[in-house]
Amino acid sequence: MMKLTGLLRTFRILKNVSYRQYSCARRLVLGIETSCDDTGAAVVDENGAILGEGFESQMKIHLDNGGVIPHIAVHFHKENIKSVVSSALENSKINLEDVSAIAVTTKPGLKGSLLVGVTYAKKLAEESEKPLIPVHHMEAHALTARLLHEIPFPFLCLLASGGHCQLTLVKGVNEFLLLGDSMHNSPGEVLDKIARRLKLQNLPECYEMSGGKAIDYMARDGDPTAFNFPLSMTHYRDCNFSFSGFVSYSMTTIRREEEKNDVPADGVIPSVRDFCASLLQGYAVHLSHRILRAFAFCEQENLIASNQRTLVFSGGVACNAYIKTALEHLCTSSLNAKFYVPPPKLCTDNGVMIAWNGMEKLKANIDILPHTENLVPDPDCPLGIDTRSSVSKASIKIKSPKLDMKEREDILLSSS
């Protein structure tokens, strides 16, 4: 019996040694994400395989509070960071010593939230003497699709979320040209605000959904032509975005519909599904208009060849089925462009995108810092080189894209 026990113990040791040797032969990056309210960590290898993840969401907490409250976000990051990173390593079946580098979000984001991730990453790096790789949150979103697809540079990327709406030309792992940015509110923030005004949280099917997800859900059976949302910034020949007009039109229209239908204080307007579909239709047209101009500008400046058009759509708003399908239709019907969207799990904030961005940098020998480096969070860091003024000076005229009834039906069916 003792011989058998000894043999089993030896087998386990040899098995672990064999795996450790194999894992060390590959380059592995641990990624840590704490830029806003989600605590995420993951390990990826150089081939894009996701070895393991850890994740804790604060969405329910912030839904109850009507939005992200920074000091509450920091509290839960501090509470979760150790267990999330431990889960990522355990699920990957590796130890910290097996990773080649530790990547961490350092910019942009909520300062306190960023600091939690950076501080913990530095602690791990010092303990293991592993190099650190600072990651720009928006650059990581833009490159996530390359984890799953072979997408050559350059490509156009639309980043839309609760904090940003940016159009960028991605020329390389750390080469970004900013073509357009949100001038006022972000698209995700506006969707959440309108969802609260519609009182969608009072509907049982939408109770635990974010505002954007609830609007997308309600739009599935709606008529996108029922309400005529005004087109935004059509007289500006640039690639910037504005979503404030969606707010003002929504508030006025919802109040009018409530009065017309005598809706109770906690009730929802009868035409809510049509309203949500029309809202997303307005979003799709606004985004498409700027994308068309961005491609025209890049081709005029010889930044992209007309036969190599590619659009990547990422960020939290890329989870919206209606908008995603509308942009895919734009690429296939009007642009003859390839279209990529990461799966919903990788569109929202996560550790995988940080680990993958770290891996892309590691392979390109970019931004690899010694563990002794003093990383400082930069909450307001811009994305890439700002070329918005050049786009504006080019003054390229683009007609607002229109979808006929059949095309609208296709989009509605695809998002169901």
The residue whose two tokens read 């910019």 is 107
Q: Does residue 253 sit in the same domain as residue 206?
A: yes
* 22 part of a folded domain: no
Q: Does residue 165 sit in the same domain as residue 222?
A: yes
The structure tokens listed for 219 are 């739009």
Residue 39: strand pairing partners: 56
Least confident window among 204-208, 231-235, 333-337: 231-235
One-letter amino acid of 172: G
**What confidence score (pLDDT) does residue 18 get?**
33
Q: Comparing C-alpha atoms, which of 47, 44, 176, 19 is closest to residue 107?
A: 176
Q: What is the mean pLDDT of residues 102-125?
A: 97
**What confidence score (pLDDT) does residue 312 get?**
98
Q: Does residue 136 sit in the same domain as residue 204?
A: no
Q: Does residue 323 sit in the same domain as residue 264?
A: yes
pLDDT digits (tens, 9 = 90+) for 188-230: 999 999 999 999 999 999 998 999 999 999 999 999 999 999 9
The structure's pTM equals 0.89
Chain-centroid distance, C-alpha 274: 27
Mean pLDDT of the chain: 90
* 15 part of a folded domain: no
Cα radius of gyration rounded to whole Å, the chain: 23
pLDDT digits (tens, 9 = 90+) for 340-378: 999 999 999 999 999 999 999 999 999 999 999 999 999
Q: Does residue 265 sit in the same domain as residue 316?
A: yes
Count how many domains the chain has: 2
| Percent of the chain scoring above 90 in pLDDT | 81
Whether the pLDDT of residue 247 is over 80: the answer is yes
For Cα atoms 224, 309, 158, give the angle at the middle one, nearest 5 degrees: 50
* 374 part of a folded domain: no
One-letter amino acid of 86: S
Q: Does residue 139 sit in the same domain as residue 264?
A: no
CA 225 vs CA 34, 204, 216, 275, 303: distances in Å: 40, 26, 16, 9, 36
**What confidence score (pLDDT) does residue 75 get?**
92
* 177 part of a folded domain: yes
pLDDT digits (tens, 9 = 90+) for 10-66: 344 333 333 344 344 689 999 999 999 899 999 999 999 999 999 998 766 656 656
Q: How many residues does the chain have?
A: 416
CATH number of domain containing 60: 3.30.420.40
The structure tokens listed for 224 are 């996108």
Domain carrying residue 126:
28-148+347-364
Q: Does residue 137 sit in the same domain as residue 172?
A: no
* CB proximity list for 16: less than 8 A, separation 6 or greater: none
Q: Does residue 160 sit in the same domain as residue 79?
A: no
Q: Comparing C-alpha atoms, which of 383, 280, 294 is closest to residue 331?
A: 294
| Percent of the chain scoring above 70 in pLDDT | 88
* 5 part of a folded domain: no
Whether the pLDDT of residue 74 is over 70: the answer is yes
The structure tokens listed for 252 are 């006025």
In whole angstroms, give the CA distance from residue 137 to residue 142: 9
Q: What is the mean pLDDT of residues 325-329?
A: 95
pLDDT digits (tens, 9 = 90+) for 300-311: 999 999 999 999
pLDDT digits (tens, 9 = 90+) for 252-282: 999 999 999 999 999 999 999 999 999 999 9
Q: Does residue 172 sit in the same domain as residue 131?
A: no
**What confidence score (pLDDT) does residue 59 get?**
65
